[in-house]
Structure 1
Amino acid sequence: MSFLSTTNVSLSTLFAESSTNAALVSFLIYTAAVFVIAALSNRLLKSKSFLSEYFLGSRGLGVWAFALTFAATSSSGGSFTGFPSKIYSHGWILALWIGSYMVVPICTMGLIGKRLNQVARRSGSITVPDVVRDRFHSPILGLMAVSLIVFFMSFNLVAQFKAGSLILQTLLDGVSIFESTADGLAQAVAGIPYISESESPEYLLCLLVFGVAVILYTTYGGFHAVVWTDVMQGIVMVIGVIIMLPLAISQSGGLENTTKLMAKMTPPRISDPDKGGITLTLAEPAPETMRIESGTWITDTPIDDNKTPLLFRVTVENEIAKGETTVNEVKVLQLTTLDDIERILARRESEKFLDDVSVSNIDLKSYAYGEEGSQQGTYVVGPGPSPGSDSGFLPLSLAISFFFMWAISGTGQPANMVRLMAFRDTKTLQRSICTVAIYYTLIYFPLVVIFCCARVLLPGMEGDSDRIMPAMAVYLTEHIGMGWLAGLLVAAPFAAVMSTVDSFLLLISSAWVRDVYQRNINPEASEKTIKMLSYLATFVVGTAAMVVAINPPQFLQDIIVYVGSGLAASFLATIVYGLYWRRVNAAGAMGAMLGGFSVHLAMYVTGYFVNGSFFKPYQLFDFDPIIIGLFVSFISGFVVTKMTAPPPEELVHKYFYTTKADA
């Protein structure tokens, strides 16, 4: 008797059978290209000032290099992992959620780009804490900026490592050499505390491969390696999305058909993480220990029965011990839309099903908004379904919040500010604004369409929605007989994560080496010492993040939202005041930074006690913490400045009197 049907294969197995070689070759070629760029970039470090070149590219970026490195850094693992997951889970409302991202380059580049570049050149600043310290002539303020950057970026770096590893795991799942290597790694780390507790040996192997590759090329090549790999990765991302768009539309039957089907959809019923689920009972005792893998389908009604079957998908891996027949509290989700159920059963032979099993003790819960049978159409109109909020995913107040979240908070990101310190001249800035806006449009609007189509093509993935992007790439290419193309499409999200990780690595390492060591501990350090410490810091920071990512947090996109909004609340008011307000002083800048950070953090901590999760913040007046944090930051900076003495006249003269070179 076969409990797990031998004729049924998963998407990853299909991919492995037809395009294993292509996937491996694509990955190896891509990785080799990254290392070649890093090697070429390293040669530039030998002929120019090391610090300026390693962390800022000697401020010489042209239009395409500047625009694509800016765009690729912003288009992170959140854009190609967390964002598709949100679209899949909540539907068309995500177009409104992300719509303001088209104006990010206008806000970020237009609002602070030219002035920030001028101030950085006048002061000789290489990092964002450099700018803050020199503009306000305050070492304490500089160290405060370092602390906030390290605090927030450490969170984000772990999330990006997780995203890169999940993408690579989906690409290589089912490849024989990958599976055997993962098994060997599992045996090697068995019994080692913490490491052996990883999600799976496959995930651990992918984390090591991804982590080692990105750490080495960033450490060796510095800023130019990051910029030119960003250019390559930016091109890969947009090509991948453009290819996926027509494939998704055609295979889902067109946008009109997709929208009609989504209008009939109701959210799945889901297991409570702490208790409940379903009980599975086998027809006969298991002849050996049997794994019930995540993603396995279970139906409790024969296919030839006239009744609509109950259809469940396992969300957490389980085991049935040898000789046993029953396993309790299996975590699953249950499809509630008839069309989705019929679609999965119609392709039973290409899916993974658990056969000869009965289901009992069904203890699942409905979504708080979008409950089965009462709110059809919730995937095509606002506020979108939500498992935990009875006001839906994106009520009007949060829609307004996220407009500011993406458009305004992008201006307050230190990773973006570093790019603004590196462009060549004003013409480069002006042309790049248009270039990045067009680039974002080519990325984000198609992603909304593609992953709304994914709801029709791949139902039931809410339990593992962070992997919907690579799973969709595999599905689309397999169904046109071009499995080899999946390697290119999966390279798009992989490229997005790499381009973000390398930027964050440099940002954190520059904070330690430049802003802590050279500016405060040893100002007379030789270039050889700085060079060695820069390599060491980049390597150590990356390795530490990789180690933490062995057992990562589950909330990928929530972490990215927390970090983005927190950095904006901490830095935006300080930078804007410093660039444009002559009267602002160090005390005012410190008040703005601490005020925004404290209120933002307090709303997230309150959310932990009120909503049961740190990543479900308390929403004062129903607004996201980014709105409240920015408001408090600007107000506190203004009030403290007015209550304290004005800055020295020579400091104002240095940064507010235009010279011909700055024009």
Structure 2
Amino acid sequence: MNFLSDTTNSLPLVLAAEGSNAALVSFLIYTAAVFVLAALSNRLLKSKSFLSEYFLGSRGLGVWAFALTFAATSSSGGSFTGFPSKIYTHGWILALWIGSYMVVPICTMGLIGKRLNQVARRSGSITVPDVIRDRFHSQMLGLMAVSLIVFFMSINLVAQFKAGSLILQTLLDGVTVFESTAGSLANAVSGIPYLNSAESPEYLLCLLVFGIAVILYTTYGGFHAVVWTDVMQGIVMVIGVIIMLPLAISQSGGLEHTTKLMAKMTPPRISAEDEGGITLTLDKPREELLRIDAGTWITDKPIPDSNVPLLFRVTRATQIPAGETTVNEVKVLQLTTLDDIERILARRESEEFLEGVRVSNIDLKAYAYGEEGTQQGTYVVGPGPSPSSSSGFLPLSLAISFFFMWAISGTGQPANMVRLMAFRDTKTLQRSICTVAIYYTLIYFPLVLIFCCARVLLPGMEGDPDSIMPKMAVLLTDNIQMGWLAGLLVAAPFAAVMSTVDSFLLLISSAWVRDVYQRNLNPEASERTIKLLSYLVTFVVGTAAMIVAINPPKFLQDIIVYVGSGLAASFLAPIVYGLYWRRVNAAGAMGAMLGGFSVHLAMYVTGFFVNGSFFKPYQLFNFDPIIIGLSVSFISGFVVTKLTAPPSDELVHKYFYTTKAKS
């Protein structure tokens, strides 16, 4: 059996051999289940306090519901799209990069879980800004918290919509009904400039389907719909990973074989974003326009004094007009590992190759760390190859930074805090810590193994690494002639994105409805008004994010890192101080929040001017902005608190004593 079949240009049909629409059927069943859960959740809203039930589930989550909704929310689209792309691009070092995620439950749930739940119950808080506003008795601080949550979550929401749409596109690629519907949609929007500028009609259709589905079930069902679907999605995620692991290991020849091949690998040479590439010259002009799609392979004779054939893969689609023979600066990557080149050339008939063409004017750049031919083994040892950093992907200082990024900054995520406000009792929290730790172990370590194997099974994917997860799922199942199983495997990353999107939607809508409207504009608003406004805001926010995602950002994992670290730098210090330090006051909490946010943002803005990209931040002392942001946040909060008056005794007694002090 040939385990290295065609998956590179356009994904193989999920059930091409049988001509089945099993992938579409799987998706429809999955979507139907989500709406059933939303309908059941909506019934609960009719018998309980709307706000508490819609945004917190009446604080009654048990062990499995609490653990899986917490885990599924944290395991976002980045876990199944951005993280696999990082593993594929940088190799085994990603085990260290993600290793601290196993202690996230202890840090996040153990550090603030019980105390935050107590404070939220004592103050009657429903949202994170609620807790901050009531704990510090400051309307301005509450509004500041709302502003930061809406700012960060809105950015992340757009990225998650993109991830969900790309995954769904992979799942449905080749399904007849899907292809014909996408074609009809393309004709329908051809006269609408913004819609017509989407990546492709297939992407636009998937975005609409995914967006409408997740917006409707979140709007209709509220928190319980999110929790129950998170439980289902959490189960789907772990099953998908457990199935992929043995398939990947066996089809790549075993871990020992895979590691030996990776030890010989050198990173590809790549085209610069602004200039460079290769010149293609056709042997003879074509009568029709020639479109060269991304993913197409191009080969030529070896250069003098070398026995290594030239093998390129197109990373950006281009075209040669009818009657012409030459196109310049075609964006490509060039494979530099002989084993990879030989594997691709050996299955030339099943790959998409551009024939009858010559290559010249090769202007490509090597990786900044792991340069071609000089550093074999960079995929199996630290700090890992890097296209942009001369010190590698994960030098020691950044390894320390990412321990804090995953283990510590997760504690400062408002989406996680909302879960911590909703569990039933202390025993639920204690058991959930262990459950989530085991769950993360079953997810992240297998992903490292699977996508190291992907380097052997799917060479040359650095040009489109965010699609490696769904492409790998389709490849593994096609190779064992069980294409229908791809629906389940691709549902794992799809479920991860859905569970994150619905949580973010509720977080943003609760910020607007509860923290802006009810707490500041109309404290006497009726429950009916709040209910209608909650539905409306959830729907509008989701729709707005979906519209922006029509022309989405390119760097999913970089956005997730920016948002996660920014939220932690803004919220962790004021929350920890507020829960455990009696002396802290509103001024100190505001200093911590603004200090962390400002310094973190400044390092990213500086990166834009120094490194040419907002998502390549300036690293002071080679530390990630999360370390600097958290340090400044805690220090500034402490200093400002000490320089200002202490909080009132009444406020301290309310949150730090079980009974009121005697007069």
C-alpha separation in 2, matches of 1:9 and 1:313: 10
Find the counterpart in structure 2 of residue 370 from structure 1. Answer: 370
1:58 touches 1:422 (CA, 8 Å); kept in 2? yes
Runs of 4+ in structure 1 off by over 6 angstroms are: none
C-alpha separation in 1, matches of 2:569 and 2:202: 38
Find the counterpart in structure 2 of residue 281 from structure 1. Answer: 281
Structural mapping, 1:159-198, within 5 Å? 159-198=159-198
Give SS of 1:502's match.
helix
Q: Deviations over 1:517-536 (max 9, x none)?
A: 00000000011110010000
1:621 Cα deviation from its structure 2 partner: 0.9
C-alpha separation in 2, matches of 1:235 and 1:273: 40
**Identity of matched residues, %:** 88
C-alpha separation in 2, matches of 1:639 and 1:190: 58
Q: Deviations over 1:392-438 (max 9, x none)?
A: 11110000000000000000000000000000000000000000000
Structural mapping, 1:32-181, within 5 Å? 32-181=32-181
C-alpha separation in 1, matches of 2:178 and 2:557: 28
1:308 Cα deviation from its structure 2 partner: 3.6
Find the counterpart in structure 2 of residue 266 from structure 1. Answer: 266
Which one-letter code corresponds to 1:366 in the other structure?
A: A
2:7 touches 2:471 (CA, 8 Å); kept in 1? no
1:309 Cα deviation from its structure 2 partner: 2.2
C-alpha separation in 1, matches of 2:559 and 2:659: 43
Find the counterpart in structure 1 of residue 430 from structure 2. Answer: 430
Change over 3 Å in CA distance of 1:596–1:21 after alignment to 2 = same
Is 2:357 the counterpart of 1:357? yes
2:300 touches 2:358 (CA, 8 Å); kept in 1? yes
Find the counterpart in structure 2 of residue 4 from structure 1. Answer: none
Is 2:451 the counterpart of 1:480? no
Q: Deviations over 1:66-93 (max 9, x none)?
A: 0000000000000000000000000000
2:75 touches 2:500 (CA, 8 Å); kept in 1? yes
C-alpha separation in 1, matches of 2:200 and 2:275: 23
Find the counterpart in structure 2 of residue 647 from structure 1. Answer: 647
Q: Deviations over 1:606-650 (max 9, x none)?
A: 111111110011111111100000000000000111111110111
Find the counterpart in structure 1 of residue 16 from structure 2. Answer: 17
Structural mapping, 1:252-263, within 5 Å? 252-263=252-263
2:234 touches 2:495 (CA, 8 Å); kept in 1? yes
1:11 touches 1:351 (CA, 8 Å); kept in 2? no
Find the counterpart in structure 2 of residue 620 from structure 1. Answer: 620
Structural mapping, 1:424-463, within 5 Å? 424-463=424-463
Find the counterpart in structure 2 of residue 344 from structure 1. Answer: 344
Q: Deviations over 1:449-495 (max 9, x none)?
A: 00000001000000000000000000111111111111100000000
Q: Deviations over 1:313-358 (max 9, x none)?
A: 1111112222222222111101000000111112222221111221
Find the counterpart in structure 1 of residue 490 from structure 2. Answer: 490
Which one-letter code corresponds to 1:83 in the other structure?
A: F
C-alpha separation in 1, matches of 2:414 and 2:243: 32
Give SS of 2:360's match.
strand
C-alpha separation in 1, matches of 2:445 and 2:300: 39
C-alpha separation in 2, matches of 1:167 and 1:467: 8
Which one-letter code corresponds to 1:13 in the other structure?
A: P
C-alpha separation in 2, matches of 1:496 and 1:171: 15
Is 2:473 the counterpart of 1:466? no
1:161 touches 1:207 (CA, 8 Å); kept in 2? yes
C-alpha separation in 2, matches of 1:175 and 1:317: 23
The answer to which of 337-346 and 228-237 deviates more is: 337-346
Structural mapping, 1:190-229, within 5 Å? 190-229=190-229
Find the counterpart in structure 2 of residue 3 from structure 1. Answer: none
C-alpha separation in 2, matches of 1:620 and 1:362: 36
Give SS of 2:12's match.
helix
Find the counterpart in structure 1 of residue 521 from structure 2. Answer: 521
C-alpha separation in 2, matches of 1:529 and 1:505: 19
C-alpha separation in 2, matches of 1:453 and 1:478: 16
Which one-letter code corresponds to 1:570 in the other structure?
A: S
Find the counterpart in structure 2 of residue 331 from structure 1. Answer: 331
Which one-letter code corresponds to 1:95 in the other structure?
A: A
C-alpha separation in 1, matches of 2:335 and 2:282: 22
Give SS of 1:12's match.
coil
Give SS of 2:378's match.
coil
C-alpha separation in 2, matches of 1:11 and 1:244: 21
1:92 touches 1:381 (CA, 8 Å); kept in 2? yes
C-alpha separation in 2, matches of 1:70 and 1:425: 15
Structural mapping, 1:471-620, within 5 Å? 471-620=471-620
Give SS of 1:354's match.
coil
1:8 Cα deviation from its structure 2 partner: 10
1:170 Cα deviation from its structure 2 partner: 1.3
Find the counterpart in structure 1 of residue 231 from structure 2. Answer: 231
1:273 Cα deviation from its structure 2 partner: 1.1
C-alpha separation in 1, matches of 2:98 and 2:376: 24
1:23 touches 1:487 (CA, 8 Å); kept in 2? yes
Q: Deviations over 1:240-289 (max 9, x none)?
A: 00000000000111111111000000000001111111111222222212
C-alpha separation in 2, matches of 1:562 and 1:418: 20
Q: TM (normalized to structure 1)?
A: 0.97
Change over 3 Å in CA distance of 1:105–1:379 after alignment to 2 = same
Which one-letter code corresponds to 1:15 in the other structure?
A: V
Find the counterpart in structure 1 of residue 398 from structure 2. Answer: 398
Q: Deviations over 1:499-551 (max 9, x none)?
A: 00000000000000000000000000011110010000000100111111111
1:116 touches 1:420 (CA, 8 Å); kept in 2? yes
Find the counterpart in structure 1 of residue 27 from structure 2. Answer: 27
Give SS of 2:193's match.
coil
Equivalent residues, number: 651
Which one-letter code corresponds to 2:543 in the other structure?
A: T
2:7 touches 2:475 (CA, 8 Å); kept in 1? no
C-alpha separation in 2, matches of 1:534 and 1:279: 56
C-alpha separation in 1, matches of 2:48 and 2:62: 18
C-alpha separation in 2, matches of 1:14 and 1:512: 43
Which one-letter code corresponds to 1:599 in the other structure?
A: V
1:290 touches 1:319 (CA, 8 Å); kept in 2? yes
Which one-letter code corresponds to 2:502 in the other structure?
A: D
C-alpha separation in 2, matches of 1:290 and 1:625: 46
Find the counterpart in structure 2 of residue 251 from structure 1. Answer: 251
Find the counterpart in structure 1 of residue 3 from structure 2. Answer: none
2:167 touches 2:490 (CA, 8 Å); kept in 1? yes
1:387 Cα deviation from its structure 2 partner: 0.6
Which one-letter code corresponds to 2:194 in the other structure?
A: Y
Give SS of 1:279's match.
strand
Give SS of 2:545's match.
helix
Which one-letter code corresponds to 1:315 in the other structure?
A: T
C-alpha separation in 1, matches of 2:256 and 2:658: 56
1:197 touches 1:551 (CA, 8 Å); kept in 2? yes
Q: Deviations over 1:11-70 (max 9, x none)?
A: 623435136411111111101100110011011101100000000000000000000000
Give SS of 1:194's match.
helix
Q: TM (normalized to structure 2)?
A: 0.97
2:12 touches 2:474 (CA, 8 Å); kept in 1? no
Which one-letter code corresponds to 1:199 in the other structure?
A: E
2:264 touches 2:376 (CA, 8 Å); kept in 1? yes
Give SS of 1:353's match.
coil
Which one-letter code corresponds to 1:582 in the other structure?
A: R
C-alpha separation in 1, matches of 2:428 and 2:320: 62
2:61 touches 2:423 (CA, 8 Å); kept in 1? yes
C-alpha separation in 2, matches of 1:312 and 1:20: 34
Give SS of 2:159's match.
helix
C-alpha separation in 1, matches of 2:248 and 2:349: 22
